[in-house]
Structure formats: structure tokens, C-alpha cells
Amino acid sequence: MNKLPNNPKNDGENRDYIDALYQNASSKGTVSANNQVPPPPTLYDQLKAPLDTLLKSSKSVYSAGTELLHRINFSAIKIGEKNKDRILYRLQWHNLNSTRDLLAINARPTDLTIEQAILMGGINYEYQIDSIKAAAGNYVQQAQMKAAILQGAVLASTSRDEITEEDGQYQWNFLEGSETEVIAIQPELSTNLRQTELRTGFGASEPELRRLLGMPYNNLLLHLSTHGYFAPQPADVQAKGISNDEGFKKFQLAKSQHPLVRTGVVLAGANGVLNGEKIAGEVDGIWTGYEIAQNNLSKVPLVLIPNCHTGLGDLVSGEGAFSLPRAFKIAGTQYVIYGLWSVPDQQTKVFMTKFYKNWLGRTDRSVPAAFKETQKEMNDGLNTSFDPYQWASLMLLE
């Protein structure tokens, strides 16, 4: 297979490249944006034979992608000339981490009842521990676990579009759109669920999240609108040519050998540890995949991390990606919605708002059905349609 969007830095920047993969059924007879470089083969060009067989004989497909196939949104692949000539209009495509997940799916109830929700967005990443402490409790045990994870770390680094540098200090940038996203979602959830908890600013911290998850609840929805990170192995940086800068130069968690430590969710105060601060007695604002996997989230059936690159992770043949979605699945979550590449905040907000309206409007609360309906609305909306770059980044793992 030819090159696919697998570079954490370039895939978010190269909108023309992603659209070329998904926007045409075939690259034959088309030209690139600058009319000079031949366009890349489309996904249908590269996968035509197996896809044609499935399209002729199947109504549903359960797919556990291997290697870079894990980073393809098959539902968005165009198979004809019209905008609606995409796989999502022909069959239901189910994404799995491994084929053994089929056993869990067959035993799962078809409807999904959720009573409560936790929303976090508009997070302040500045390391101001007094402000974070004002919104949370005891950090000691969590800090000790972080210290244990860091032992034996080896050097690695990667580039993140979401990180900027000024006078030698690195920072995760504030995501204004993530705040408007969770605020826009809250009324719909509050109307339909028994309880909805919204946290922004310094209140969207790791200890506060742990406190909320530790309270009694039945079937909780968790929505984290924030940065995700992934640092590849040093060997991958060299062998696969993955772009490498100093964004994680001081970030010790990015230097671990454990793949689920090198991926995580960024919460309040995380800029301190990003710059190598030794956080003693407090948490660092990073909820790693390793920590997530240690939780029992069997009563959190739906997790949404619709952020840049939250689907990236070390790829293992036959096992899929050791990524954030995988960590949540290990912890017991049924469904995870995540992102493959960088998408502007506004489009993510539109997708999420439509998804919740579709999901809450269904009597069976089927997540796959609501997600597919949202994909269709983004592709051919009555008022506004979006190109694949703007909606195909979001994926559903079952």
C-alpha cells in the first residue's frame, strides 16, 4: 500500500492530501491542487478489490485494521462520482481493535442507557497549582504512581502541532473552541440525563476527574474536549521518518518505553510537566493511557475524546494500535469516539452537537446508528456540507 495519513504533524496540515484520498473514487483523470504534482492514489484505488467484494455481499462489516489500515476511516471512502457514493451509504462499518472484540459485541445489549455525564473543555493548561488545588483534593497517591511509571524511561521525542514554544518554555495552547463545544452540548444532555457535570478552566483537572469518576453512578458518559498526545518510539522516529522537534524535549512521559505512557489526555496544569517540572505531591495534569487502563470503567460505556491525534499509537500487527481508545477499551468502555488528524474546532463542535442530538433522539440510544447518521449529515447537510477532511477524522471504536 502507498503512503497513508500517518504522520502526527503533516496529516493535520495537509488538507489537500487527505481530501484527495477521500474525495474521489479514483485519481485517474484528476490533477493535484497545484496542477503539477500527480495526486496520490485514492483509498478506493488502493483497496478496490477487497472493497468491491464486501460491497456486493455484505450489509455490515466488522473490521480490525492492521498496520496503517487502523488509521483509515473506511466509511468515508468514496466509491463513485456523487458525494453520497461512499461506503457509509452502502453498509455499516464497525471498527474494532481486535477480532476478539466480536465476542463482547455479541454479548452486548443493543440499546444503551446512560444516566449521567461528565464534560470537560476550555481547559487552562498553565501550571498554577494553587488554582488547581482549589478545585480538587488529595494528590499524593496519584503522584506516587506517576513517579513509579517514570522509572526506567528512555529518551524519545516527537512533534505536536498543539504545542508552541516561547523563550525556551513549551505550552499546550488553550482551545477556545473546546469550551464552546462542551457548553453547547451541556443543555441537551442536562435535558435528557439525570445529571450532567461540566468542568472548565482549572476545574478540569485530573484530581477532579478522578473524584467525579469515584462517585456513585450508573452508566456514565465521559466527554473530554482537550489535547491528546502521542509520542512514537525512538526507533520509529528514525526508521519511519516521523517528524521530530523539541516539543516534548522536557516531557518525561514521552520518553517511556511503555506505549500507553506515551499517549494520554491533557488536563489542567499540564504545562508544568511538559517543561520538566518535578511535580511533588500533586498530579501533573496528564491522564496517560496506562493510568486509564488501570481503571474500572465498565460503567462508563461511552467515552468521547474528539481531539487531534487521539487515535494514534504504536501499531502492532494483529493487535491494532496501543492508543488512547485501546486504553479505554481495556478499562471496560464499550464505545470510544476519537480523532485521527487535526480538525478546526468549529467543525468538531458541529459534529459533536449533531451526534448528541441524533443519539439522544433515538429510542434505542444506539451509538453506531447515531454516529453513522451524523456522518451522513456532515457529508450532505441540507444547509452546509463538509469535505472529508472536516469530518472523517472522527472515528468510532466498538
Q: Are 204 and 121 in contact (CB under 8 A)?
A: yes
**pLDDT 10s digits, 136-195:** 544 444 444 444 444 433 323 232 247 888 888 888 889 888 999 999 999 999 999 999
H or E element, residue 164: strand 163-166
> Taking all residues of the chain, what is their mean pLDDT, rounded to a whole number?
80
Check residues 140 and 48 and name the one with the higher pLDDT.
Answer: 48
Between the two ends of the chain, the Cα-to-Cα distance in Å is 25
Taking the C-alpha atoms of residue 93 and residue 72, their distance in angstroms, rounded to an integer, is 12
**Average pLDDT of span 293-303:** 95
Structural domains in the chain?
10-106 (no CATH), 116-397 (3.40.50)
Residue type, 38: P
pLDDT at 336 over 90: yes
The confidence score (pLDDT) of residue 352 equals: 95
Percent of the chain with pLDDT over 90: 39
140-150 and 206-213 helices, crossing angle to 10°: 110
Taking the C-alpha atoms of residue 356 and residue 372, their distance in angstroms, rounded to an integer, is 12
Which cell numbers in the block locate residue 305? 475524546
Taking the C-alpha atoms of residue 176 and residue 64, their distance in angstroms, rounded to an integer, is 35
The confidence score (pLDDT) of residue 303 equals: 98
Length of the chain, in residues: 398
Q: Which residues contact 56 (CB under 8 A, 6 or more apart)?
A: none
Residue position matching grid coordinates 463482547: 104
Q: Are 298 and 192 in contact (CB under 8 A)?
A: no
pLDDT at 2 over 60: no
pLDDT at 73 over 90: yes
Check residues 365 and 67 and name the one with the higher pLDDT.
Answer: 365
> How does residue 133 score in pLDDT terms, banded at 50, 70 and 90?
low
H or E element, residue 354: helix 345-360
In this predicted structure, which of 2-16, 44-58, 189-203 has the lowest mean pLDDT?
A: 2-16
**pLDDT 10s digits, 239-269:** 554 544 456 777 878 878 899 999 999 999 9
**Average pLDDT of span 45-66:** 84
The confidence score (pLDDT) of residue 383 equals: 64
**Average pLDDT of span 193-221:** 93
**pLDDT 10s digits, 306-334:** 987 788 888 777 677 889 999 999 999 99
Taking the C-alpha atoms of residue 351 and residue 376, their distance in angstroms, rounded to an integer, is 11
Q: Are 45 and 2 in contact (CB under 8 A)?
A: no
Count of Cβ atoms closer than 10 Å to residue 194 Cβ: 11
